[in-house]
Structure 1
Amino acid sequence: MLDIAAICLVITALLAYLNHRLTRLPTTIGVMAIALALSLAMVGLDAAGLDHGLRRYEESFIRSIDFSDVLMQGMLSFLLFAGALHVDLGALKKFRWQVAALALVGTVVSTVVVGGLMWLALPHIGLPLPLLYCLLFDALISPTDPIAVMGILKSAGAPKELELVIAGESLFNDGVGVVVFALLLGVLSSGETPTFAAAGTLLLREAGGGIAFGLVLGYVVFRMLKSIDQYQVEVLLTLAAVMGGYAFASHLHVSGPLAMVVCGLIIGNGGRARAMSDSTRRYIDMFWELVDEILNAVLFVLIGLEVILIAFSAPLVFGGMLAIGITLCARWLTVGLPVALGRGWFALPPGAAHVMTWGGLRGGISVALALSLPAGAQREIVLALTYCVVVFSILVQGLTIGRVTQKAVGTSAVTRLP
């Protein structure tokens, strides 16, 4: 495990260096693009008989990493807490009902819409996929990835109100998406369709329990932070809250991601204002910013390297293009259209619907969930479709969201809340 971690960090550092010296892209996008290019180059060299075993070595290394376990049980808690730590809860309260509607209703409706369309369309390109697998694909691809979204928003130049809604939605719809995915995966494993009551109970226990646990954890840590003034101990307390809290949430069978989001919001707002000195606030911000940057870079390098394990074919490429189009259409129907029609309620600038649609990035969480499916031909199809959507989302949408924002809302609309 230590060797694997060391190799990942070395590769990430080297690719970050190359990106800074050569391409100058945002770090997460740049390291992923370079990793993807290197992996594809090895595939090409192997096809030409010139790789001298490099592809087999990379495949062996990537297979030794349980990507799903590394992200869902390792990185995710740190990344979600770090992201929520810097969200202005006071400003977000203004949009609490809008965010709740987009995160809950939007994610569930998107799962049904995308699942039905994929189930109808895939047989026409030679990729028949059972309806349940289509719904599983849509459950893992419908939620936007807070890790990808919040990293891009830092440099996109979006109005503060719009940034808050996108960030809030992405933080909470992740938890909803994981719960829906777990419900459908249970159906696949047991072969039994749960009743609406059972599904509602699971959603309430996982999502509601995760939020409640996050509130309790955040309050306990807040009181501990308030009782002392030593930044070394206070940084350690936040680290323990993330690692211990996420592990305890899994034992309680509640949503760890939602617990980390809520805990991060409490410590980043009430804790920052009333329980930290200026020195502690500075060190905690620096620590979690570094953790966020390092883990994000490692995550996106792994996404780029994962391509070497996917056996693409012409039908899968066409299926991936189809999935990209359907996913964007579903995003418009479930997020963009409601925002456009309900401008008075959402209180967002004109053109926000376009930014919300194009800014719905997917990332490592989708790939991790796809890898957690049972092995088989259906899993390989879902994984390939997921990978196509994620790569397009990060490389194309991520690199152009700034221009889309400027064109949609105009520079005059780019204002900041007090």
Structure 2
Amino acid sequence: MGSIEIALFMLLAVLVSGYLVRVLPFSLPLPLVQIGLGAVIAGSFDRGVELQPDLFFLLFLPPLLFLDGWRIPKDGLFRDLSVVLQLALGLVLFTVVGAGFLIHWLIPAIPLAVAFALAAVVSPTDPVAVLSIAARVPIPKRLMHILEGESLLNDASGLVCFRFAVAAVTTGGLSLSSAGLTFVWLAIGGIGVGVGFTLGASRAQLWLSRHFGEESGSPILLNLLTPFGAYLIAEHIGASAILAAVAAGITMSYVELSGTALATTRVHRAAVWDTVQFTLNGVVFVLLGEQLPQILKQAIASVAQSGHSNPWWLAVYALATTAGLFALRLLWVWGALHVRRWWTRQSASPQAAPHWRLTVATSLAGVRGTVTLAAVLTLPLTLPDGHAFPARELVIFLAASVILLSLIAASIGLPRLLTGLHLPPPTEPQREEDHARRVAARAALDAIHRAQNAHAQTPADVERYNDAASRVIALYQRQLSDQAPTGIAAEALRRADDAERELRLAALQAERDAIFELARRRHVSDETARKLVRDIDLSESRYR
């Protein structure tokens, strides 16, 4: 069976997993189902997929990171930026040091530098798995935003630490000053490339559209290629390609607020990106499952690297490593929360102590994913002197085990921790949505009156547009009076259809402009603006 056939079976497994997770009599996270299907594929074909880490990073990471950066609520990200940075930077360094010494203590056969490399590669968290679990567990929105922001940034910091640890193994030493300067360049260069490339590509596409028109799929295709362009340029100049993809996505969310894209383009683009996200997320977990049998065989064959002959010691080490990572994360989260509470006590609005179940849930939600597996597979086979890389197969096995065990622990523990936990309702998003709807409705009424006066040329036009305007205005007046809108039988007067269509389009455009203006001035969050604009776009698509 060739690689193309295996790839098609993987896509089929992703499709099947979406239905299988719904028909199972018990709740199971989608990633675990996909990993299981990947293992079935691996056992069904004699020839598996040879995972090439560089190709994996290029094909899968840019679009997924770009989309996460695009869709993450920016108000929540910037509001809790200090917390996100504590987790994405401070916790990563704390995990690398703490878990590195723990792994070396547990398995003395693993050199300390190699243990640091393993700790670094398992430090990044994976939002995809947590999002899948969140679909069936009431994770608070603010906590979900923090976890998403952490995962966007800790990929870069974790992989940078991994790179330095591997360099220490292969060269026998490491300069901290050089490492610090490299990290600064990776961060600044990656963010600069992501922002600059996205702005340049968006402005070029807008200029071409205004001067030469555009095919309906052109802006969507450009949008799909943007993360790859930012990723490749950053990689070429030695900056962080991961941060470039994330920065490109965040920049795209602000480019979107310009409102230059057509409504149909936004609707079709959202559908395309939803399909791409579901497919790529599924394939990476199916691919993980497909790799597991071979990883297990290699680990069993090299169990002597751990200093034991019984393969069951592998399970002990996997459980101990996963438990140690959880304990380190719990200690960091607990300490950070208490430091934050002590700091806010000096202000006029001290914070209340979070429920212990929420603290444990935050620690348990640190699920590892396929970035960890792809990165650990980049470990070199040999050292510069020709000797084999120390404990390579064992390190790969432990990294894969942490992925699986963290997924299982979160899928079992999070529902029990968060179900029944009383949390304050998020009333602020509803208030700002109501405010945005009112502002948009007022703008729509003004646009209707302007359009009505512009088109009413003859007495017949005046009567027709007055009748159409009264029906359209009634819809927005009900919005302003908090009454639920009812169906409007616009087809009752065929001669008024065209007039009503023009007025509706004018009103919808005014609504959209008003919401974009509110978002630009940060009067509403971009998440609320995106939701309302999508509703308007869907309404407009009925009249185009």
Fold shared by both chains (TM-score > 0.5): yes
Asked whether the equivalents of residues 66 and 249 of structure 2 are also in contact (C-alpha less than 8 Å), the reply is yes
Separation (CA, whole Å) in 1 of partners of 2:76 and 2:244 = 20
Moved more, 323-332 or 347-356: 347-356
Q: Which runs of 5+ in 1 are unaligned?
A: 43-53
The equivalent of 1:206 in structure 2 is 186
Q: Does 1:158 align with 2:164?
A: no
Letter in 2 for 1:242: P
Whole-angstrom CA distance in 1 between matches of 2:83 and 2:10: 39
Residue of structure 2 aligned with 1:389, choices 371, 396, 402? 402
Q: What is the rounded CA distance, in whole Å, between the counterparts of 1:349 and 1:75 in structure 2?
A: 39
Equivalence for 1:45: none
Distance 2:415 2:271 in 1: 26
Q: Say if 2:34 is the partner of 1:31.
A: yes
CA 1:35/1:236 → structure 2, altered by over 3 Å: closer, same or farther?
A: closer
Q: Could you tell me how far apart the structure 1 residues matched to 2:152 and 2:333 are? A: 15
Aligned 8 A contact 2:29 2:411 in 1: no
CA 1:29–1:237 in structure 2 vs 1: closer, same or farther (change >3 Å)? Answer: same
1:176-210 CA-to-partner distances (Å, cap 9, x unmatched) read: 1111111111222222x222210011101212211
Q: Secondary structure at the match of 2:261?
A: coil
Kindly state the Cα deviation for residue 347 of structure 1 after the two structures are TM-superposed: 6.4
The alpha carbon displacement at 1:412 in A equals 4.2
CA 1:175/1:16 → structure 2, altered by over 3 Å: closer, same or farther? Answer: same
Instruction: State the shift of 1:153 in Å.
Output: 3.8
Query: In structure 2, do the counterparts of structure 1 residues 20 and 153 end up closer, same or farther at CA, with 3 Å as the change threshold?
Result: closer
The question of whether the paired residues in 2 share the 8 Å contact of 1:15 and 1:31 is answered with yes
Once the two structures are TM-superposed, the CA of residue 276 in structure 1 deviates from its matched residue by 2.9
The one-letter code of the counterpart of 1:357 is S
Task: Determine the structure 2 residue equivalent to 1:61.
Answer: 48
Report the residue type matching 1:333 in the other structure: L
Q: Distance in 1 between matches of 2:5 and 2:37?
A: 22
> Which residue among 343, 354, 360 is the counterpart of 1:354?
360
Paired position in structure 2 for 1:264 = 249
**SS across alignment from 2:54:** helix
Contact 1:80 1:146 survives alignment (8 Å): no
CA 1:290–1:26: 2 relative to 1, 3 Å: farther
Distance in structure 1 (CA, Å) of the matches to 2:121 and 2:426: 32
| 1:71/1:155 CA distance change after superposition, 3 Å | farther
- Give the distance between the partners of 1:146 and 1:82, measured in 2 at CA: 12
**Residue 335 of structure 1, aligned match among 330, 333, 336:** 333
1:148 alignment partner in structure 2: 129
Match of 1:255 in 2: 240
Contact 2:199 2:255 in 1 (8 A): no
Alignment of 1:70-81 (within 5 A): 70-81=55-66
Match of 2:481 in 1: none
Q: Is the 8 A contact 1:115 1:137 kept in 2?
A: yes
Contact conserved, 2:153 with 2:243, CA < 8 A, in 1? yes
> How far is 1:4 from its partner?
4.4
Equivalents in 1 of 2:246, 2:219: separation in Å? 19
Count the aligned residue pairs.
394
Question: Structure 1 CA distance, aligned partners of 2:53 and 2:331?
Answer: 30
Whole-Å separation in 2 of the counterparts to 1:99 and 1:296: 23
The RMSD of aligned alpha carbons is 2.7
1:190 to 171, 180, 184: 171
Percent identity at matched positions?
A: 25
Shift of 1:413: 4.9
TM-aligned CA deviation for residue 70 of structure 1? 4.0
Residues 312-364 of structure 1 deviation map (CA, whole Å, 9 limit, x = unaligned):
42111110011111010111122343134424669698234222201111010
1:215 deviates by 1.6
User: Contact 1:89 / 1:269 at 8 angstroms: preserved in 2?
Assistant: no
1:30 CA displacement: 2.0
1:281 to 257, 263, 266: 266
* Greater per-residue helix proportion: 1
Partner of 1:410: 422
In the alignment, the residues of structure 2 paired with residue 155 and residue 256 of structure 1 have an alpha-carbon distance, to the nearest angstrom, of 33
Structure ID, larger Rg: 2
- Select which of 74, 92, 109 maps to 1:89: 74
- 2: CA distance, partners of 1:272 / 1:298: 32
Secondary structure of the 2:162 match is: helix
With structure 2 as the length reference, what TM-score do the two structures score?
Answer: 0.67
Establish whether residue 173 from structure 1 lines up as the match of residue 177 from structure 2: no
Gaps of 5+ in 2: 301-310, 345-349, 382-388, 433-544
Separation in structure 1 between the aligned mates of residue 379 and residue 268 of structure 2, nearest angstrom: 40
Pairwise CA distance, 1:3: 4.2
Distance in 2 separating the partners of 1:28 and 1:92 = 25
Question: What do residues 226-283 of structure 1 show as CA deviations (whole Å, max 9, x unaligned)?
Answer: 5548652221111121222212221111111111111111212442453434332222
